[in-house]
Homo-oligomer: A and B are copies of this chain.
Amino acid sequence: MPKIVDHEARRTELADAVGRVIARDGVNEVSIRSVAAEAGWSPGALRHYFTTRAELLAFACEQVIQRVTDRITELRHTGTIQQAVRDTLLETMPVDARRHTEATVAFAFLALGLSDPRLAEVQRTHFNGMYGLCLQLIESLDTEGLLTPRGPSAEILARRLHAVVDGLSIQRLAGHLTPESMITQLDAYLGEIIHGTDATR
């Protein structure tokens, strides 16, 4: 089915253009017009794939979620479970240019999704995915007996880990933390919930 493949490839090409506009000019500048110009398309041709700015942003966000999920699935853990937890979380955080753009796309949905049901649905998928990931990481530490004894439940720890990751990520996106200081904060937190170990080792 070459036509369908081509269709998906062109949608992905447009989602990449959304990412470049956001990285360079900010999410506020994303429009049918600006993304068409970035991709070297006419606005009319773009509208064949996406009729509204919200649809375009929703698809770009879905692409980000898919890419991050794929990378996490493909991670090959050769070290300790503590390192695997850290590597997995850092895959979702703005530590370099690529992941900075991805996180910007994802968080743009917070401001935009509140008034648009289509965006809200994508945002819910993103949120549930991140919470599920945090719970899975906490449970894998628990299985290995690595959580600090008599601490809070796995659900409480997973919600908090999610809040810490989100909070640090947005503080980085807003330029208040360097990537290094964001990572230092994450390591300090992991070092505390993981019993008697250092997540960086």
Contacts and interface: CB of A to CB of B under 8 A. Distances in A.
Interface in A95-120: 104, 107-116, 120
Contacts of A164: 160, 163-164, 167
A27 interface: yes
Interface string A25-36: 111110000000
Contacts of A124: 175-176
A113 B167 contact: no
A120 B175 contact: yes
A114 B166 contact: no
Contacts of A9: none
A152 interface: yes
A194 interface: no
Contact of A163 (B114, B123, B167): B167
A174 interface: yes
Interface of A: 25-29, 104, 107-116, 120, 123-124, 127, 131, 151-152, 156, 159-160, 162-168, 170-171, 173-176, 185, 188-189, 192
